[in-house]
Amino acid sequence: MRRQMFGRTKTAVATGALLALGLAACSSGGSDGGDDGGEGGTLDVWIMQGTNPSGEKFFDEVGKAFKEETGATLNVEFVEWGDAHDRFVTSIAGGTTPDVAETGTTWTPEFADAGALAPLDDYVSEAGLDGDLVEGLAEAGTYDGALYGMPWYAGVRSFVYNTEMFDKAGIEPPTTWAEIESAAKALKKEFPDKIAVAVPGDAEFTVYPWVWGAGGEVATLDGDTWTSQLDSPESQAGLEFWTGLAADGYSSAGATTWRETDVLDSFAQGDVGMAVMGSWTPGAIVEANADMEGKFAAVPIPGQDGGIAPSVLGGSHLSMFNTADDKDLAFEFIEMMTTGEFASKWGEQSGYFPGQKSLLEEATSSTDPLVAPFAQQFVEGGASVPVSPNFGAVQAKLTTSTMMQSILSGDQDVATASKAAAEEMTSLLNGGS
């Protein structure tokens, strides 16, 4: 409600300002979208979108159910992951934040630190949910001892491959790094114009599995001091292997500047043999190109000599902003999204794993061939990026992408690039710049 009134005040001020300048004729621009929803008011929500299947239909349903239950209108806006950080920052600065938003787990502490988020502990315990939150996600949403991000879902990346291409090349899904290399070789031979394995340069989460798989670490904490281990011999071996696939011509020159959305697009076009992709991408692949249905499969990311290479457990919170006037209404929405029917439906439809322990168990025991490998990765090969509020700064600085791009473009070798990246990451994690 206040948002609406705020909007009107703004228009009035605007008109005043323009009148003062003698420009009254031009005040027509202040159209304020989103009519208010009658007695129940409106709840403004931001939901992220990127490589996951479109959520529009799902949120239409949620909106209906929400209206029935609370009488309030749900106003969902979809925000691209790529733009989201800037959008949050400007809206926090401008006091125009939504009531509730999906926040990436690495951002929640940052926004809480800026004083933009409302603590959720009281609501959570009142609803009796505290025991059921998936620990890693809850921990990531905690800042200064208070919970600011309600665990919503988690996702994990595994190794997705094009079964049609594999069949034609007569190869089996790889289980070791040597097998990845020979599979790439076979694919390149059979399909010289396609990309055997996509090695994107601007997608940090597709890099860490190889670092961990070789026995390296992204960063370690000793007392209060973080030290990045990206330049350890083990990490360098992992990077050497992953970027070596590109150097041997199994990737493509264009992939040097690719983000994960580019990988998804190319894979959906049938141009890519293998790629590290998220548990939420199968739906999006079919959505982008219906012909791909049934033509791809997934395996956990192979370890160097077998086993599973760990992959980042990423995820999202639902956070309540301080600008929400009706905080009870806001939490009602959060509760509705993170528990029961809608939580499991979202998980099924999107390929994410729920943030509630009770639901998670159900999801990870799935036998669906496009869920099971991800579930296995989730349970047996999940890992976390450094748990520090400063990791957001590392991400924003694109430290890992910078390293990858300079290696892939041939500007620097693995040793030089990883050393520079490690220095920068260490400094940023310890609060430097």
Footprint (CB under 8 A) of another protein, residues 327-386: none
Q: Would you say 269 or 364 has its CB closer to another protein?
A: 269
Q: Is 91 in the site for another protein (CB under 8 A)?
A: yes
Q: Would you say 336 or 417 has its CB closer to another protein?
A: 417
Q: Is 89 in the site for another protein (CB under 8 A)?
A: yes
Length of the chain: 433
Which regions of 30-97 does DSSP assign to beta strands (E)? 42-49, 73-80
Please, what is the minimum distance in Å from the beta carbon of residue 268 to another protein? Answer: 9
C-alpha 354/C-alpha 362 separation (Å) is 9
Size, binding site for another protein by CB under 8 A: 71
Please, what is the minimum distance in Å from the beta carbon of residue 225 to another protein? Answer: 21
Please, what is the minimum distance in Å from the beta carbon of residue 177 to another protein? Answer: 24
Instruction: Check: CB of residue 320 under 8 Å from CB of residue 112.
Output: no
Q: Which of 1, 2, 9, 220 binds another protein (CB under 8 A)?
A: 9
Please, what is the minimum distance in Å from the beta carbon of residue 227 to another protein? Answer: 21
Pick the piece of the chain touching another protein (CB under 8 A) from 88-96, 168-176, 327-335, 370-378: 88-96
For another protein, the binding residues in 94-133 under the rule CB under 8 A are 94-96, 98, 110, 113-116
Backbone angles phi, psi at 353, to 5 degrees: -100, 135
Please, what is the minimum distance in Å from the beta carbon of residue 377 to another protein? Answer: 26
Site string for another protein, 404-433 (x = CB under 8 A): -xx-xx-x---------------------x
Distances from the Cα of 152 to the Cα of 59, 125, 357, angstroms: 15, 16, 11
Instruction: Check: CB of residue 53 under 8 Å from CB of residue 281.
Output: no
Please, what is the minimum distance in Å from the beta carbon of residue 23 to another protein? Answer: 5
Q: Would you say 211 or 403 has its CB closer to another protein?
A: 403
Site string for another protein, 64-83 (x = CB under 8 A): -------------x-xx-xx
Distances from the Cα of 317 to the Cα of 46, 47, 106, 134, 179, angstroms: 12, 10, 10, 11, 37
C-alpha 319/C-alpha 331 separation (Å) is 9
Please, what is the minimum distance in Å from the beta carbon of residue 322 to another protein? Answer: 9
Q: Would you say 23 or 328 has its CB closer to another protein?
A: 23
C-alpha 245/C-alpha 180 separation (Å) is 9
For another protein, the binding residues in 13-52 under the rule CB under 8 A are 13-14, 17-18, 21-34, 46, 49
Q: Is 275 in the site for another protein (CB under 8 A)?
A: no
For another protein, the binding residues in 223-252 under the rule CB under 8 A are 249, 252
Please, what is the minimum distance in Å from the beta carbon of residue 271 to another protein? Answer: 8
Helices then strands, counting H and E runs in the chain, come out as 19, 14
CB-count exposure of residue 151 (10 Å: 0-12, 13-18, 19+): buried
Instruction: Check: CB of residue 83 under 8 Å from CB of residue 27.
Output: no
Q: Which two tokens mark 10?
A: 């703004």
Q: Is 192 in the site for another protein (CB under 8 A)?
A: no
Q: Would you say 77 or 325 has its CB closer to another protein?
A: 77
Q: Which of 60, 93, 144, 189 binds another protein (CB under 8 A)?
A: 93
Q: What DSSP line would sit under 218-257, residue for residue?
A: SEEEETTEEEE-TTSHHHHHHHHHHHHHHHTTSS-GGGGG
Distances from the Cα of 234 to the Cα of 138, 216, 220, 418, angstroms: 31, 5, 14, 12
Element (H, E) at 382: strand 382-383
Q: Would you say 162 or 356 has its CB closer to another protein?
A: 162
Site string for another protein, 157-186 (x = CB under 8 A): ------------------------------
